[in-house]
Structure 1
Amino acid sequence: MHILITSGGTSEAIDSVRSITNHSTGSLGKILTEAALAKGHQVTLITTPTALKPDPHPHLRLLLIENVEELLTEMQKEVLHHQTLIHAMAVSDYTPVYMTGLEEVEKAQDLHNFLHRENQEAKISSREEYQVLFLKKNPKIISLVKEWNPAIQLIGFKLLVDVSSEELIQVARESLVKNHASIIVANDLTKIQDGQHQAYLVTDNHVLEASTKTEIAEAILNYLQ
């Protein structure tokens, strides 16, 4: 089987030296990739330069991206040539538009004007005591996958923080239906620590619980087989 996996966390530039990102290490994507390769699958891994990566393998293609725009470009091409997508990457919800001092914002008569500006400096000045950063929402890539390739098997992930298992599973079911996925892996950030990774793998008919990244990978690959 030809499997496309995404992992790590995207980074969105504010200027040439600053960015906003998330804390994803890519460790789950690494384990997923290694498990898929061990079962004889062909894998394309889309990940970031700082993410953990598996060792080179003859059946592994590695594609590096930095931000959501690059991810969107690569995935739109790659989704067409794979049977399964395991979309484990932590994708930035927002990207910077413009950053300016608080005083300028307070003087502005219409804040919408800032949404059409771009910072011209390679490095934005740090003279201001307070800065205001305008962000715009990025597209939800998982919602586009089935438009690009209706036949692909889609495995998605949902991360919430400190919620009940009932709420976590319910949100996963909603994502399953909305994105026409085969599985949504529901995680709670408070349950990912010290080698443990509690998760619920939600399908149309079942909910399977896993307690480590290795168990998550094994459960996904067993489902695909």
Structure 2
Amino acid sequence: MSSLIKKHILVGITGGIAAYKTIELIRLLTKAGAEVQVVLTDGAKAFVTEMTLQAVSGHPVRTTLLDSEAEQGMGHIELAKWADTILIAPASADFMARYAQGMANDLLSTLCLATEAPVMLAPAMNQAMWKHPATQANVQTLIDRGVLMIGPTSGAQACGDVGFGRMEEPEDIFTAVDVALSAQSTELAGQHWVITAGPTMEAIDPVRFISNHSSGKMGYALASAAASKGAKVTLVSGPTQIPPPHDVKLVRIQSAQEMLYACRAAMANGADVFIGAAAVADFRMKDISDQKMKKTDDSNEMTLTLVKNPDIIATLASEKSAQCMVGFAAETNNVLQYAKGKLERKGLDLIIANDVSRQDIGFNNDQNQVTVLSKDQQWTPPKDAKTELAKALVQIIFDYQHTQK
């Protein structure tokens, strides 16, 4: 049964071409049994009409801060108390900036300050706007205050650019709201999970580095799934453009050595589960140049001297840093054979084998398919979105823990 039945969801729409998608989102919410009221900003009126939104929501659309027809003219307070949650989709850079600063100069921003209900944002904007330090600072401020970010995702944008800033699809936003409003599971309550994600970045000189194609999506999805089951989660992440998951402690790093130090610090007081989902660079520069390395006109070659990076998960496993050690094996051939070898060689409890040679799964894809191996068991969840696959993997790890007790 959906957690949305009879829930009061206030949907805010700000100015942006993605506003047309919110019509389908409202339809999904009402179909699931939620009662939806819609608030439009002035900018949003250029993209969607009040009549359409009233038809799909079943309620008059609100646009005015001081409503003379509401009780005592204080309609915004009534709405703020009515809502079980406020969902803003799309959330523009301008709106997030005003919300982060505590401004209340229109109905929607006022509602966000006046409500005691959780607030969720589905950002949508040009990729350059999303990457801008001011926007990222505002996003972090809102996350620190408990606001849940849903996306954005990467893809083609209406302006012709490609990159992060595209609003999540209505179905994905609907799922995120459904999960957030359901009673949080307590299966993992009292447990501490440490998860690594993304690539590492090994400096060559001040402008160049060695890295890989990892997007971090799988690790972030695992962190979110574990947190949703009640675990305390520390996410140690290399450089990504993914917003931090809700209720997760994020530790940002650059290099493999920094990742090892951060994991040790996170696990200093013990950890129940460690998942090494990061794609750690195998090598780093023996000596990092403190000046940009110049090419020479009389040579077509450049020699770099590399040294091995620490094997993070093998090191932590040897130190018995967590009760359950889980690794990833990203392979392009003989996937299960190589994964079994890593499981034994590194002293792991479980290993998740991932065929990154396939174009439809793995690096930079929203979907994935993996096989989980222990010394004597094997699990193969169906191919699915990484967010859904992460839930299945967390359940497999949880069940495995109980078989070992």
TM band (smaller chain): 0.7 to 0.9
- Flag structure 1 segments of 5+ consecutive residues without an equivalent: 99-117
Change (3 A) 1:61 1:195: closer
1:206 to partner: Cα distance? 1.9
Match for 1:85 among 262, 265, 274? 274
CA-atom RMSD in angstroms: 2.0
**2:223 pairs with 1:52:** no
Q: Which residue of 2 aligns with 1:148?
A: 319
1:72 to partner: Cα distance? 1.6
1:69 to partner: Cα distance? 1.4
Cα distance per residue 1:162-216 (max 9 Å; x no partner): x2xxx32122122212222221001111235254312111112222113232354
Aligned length: 199
Distance of 2:376 and 2:284 partners within structure 1? 36
Cα distance per residue 1:25-71 (max 9 Å; x no partner): 100011111111111111000002335243442xx211111001111
Change (3 A) 1:130 1:150: closer
Distance of 2:238 and 2:322 partners within structure 1? 27
Q: Which residue of 2 aligns with 1:190?
A: 357
TM-score normalized by the length of structure 1:
0.80
Distance of 1:170 and 1:158 partners within structure 2? 10
The structure with more radius of gyration: 2
TM-score normalized by the length of structure 2:
0.46
1:29-178, aligned counterparts within 5 Å?
A: 29-57=219-247, 60-80=248-268, 81-97=270-286, 119=289, 121-128=290-297, 129-149=300-320, 151-161=322-332, 163=333, 167-178=334-345
Distance of 1:151 and 1:5 partners within structure 2? 11
Cα distance per residue 1:102-159 (max 9 Å; x no partner): xxxxxxxxxxxxxxxx64x511113344311121111211111122226521110001
Amino acid at match of 2:261: T
Percent identity at matched positions?
Answer: 31
Contact 1:2 1:41 (8 Å CA) reproduced: yes
Contact 1:186 1:201 (8 Å CA) reproduced: yes
Larger strand percent = 1
Change (3 A) 1:169 1:220: same
Distance of 2:212 and 2:331 partners within structure 1? 14
Contact 2:199 2:215 (8 Å CA) reproduced: yes
Q: Which residue of 2 aligns with 1:17?
A: 207
Contact 1:84 1:153 (8 Å CA) reproduced: yes
Amino acid at match of 1:223: I
Change (3 A) 1:23 1:192: same
Contact 2:200 2:239 (8 Å CA) reproduced: no
Aligned residue for 1:52, secondary structure, equals coil
Amino acid at match of 1:17: V
Contact 1:201 1:207 (8 Å CA) reproduced: yes
1:83 to partner: Cα distance? 1.0
Contact 2:224 2:246 (8 Å CA) reproduced: no
Aligned residue for 1:66, secondary structure, equals coil
**2:377 pairs with 1:206:** yes
Aligned residue for 2:376, secondary structure, equals coil
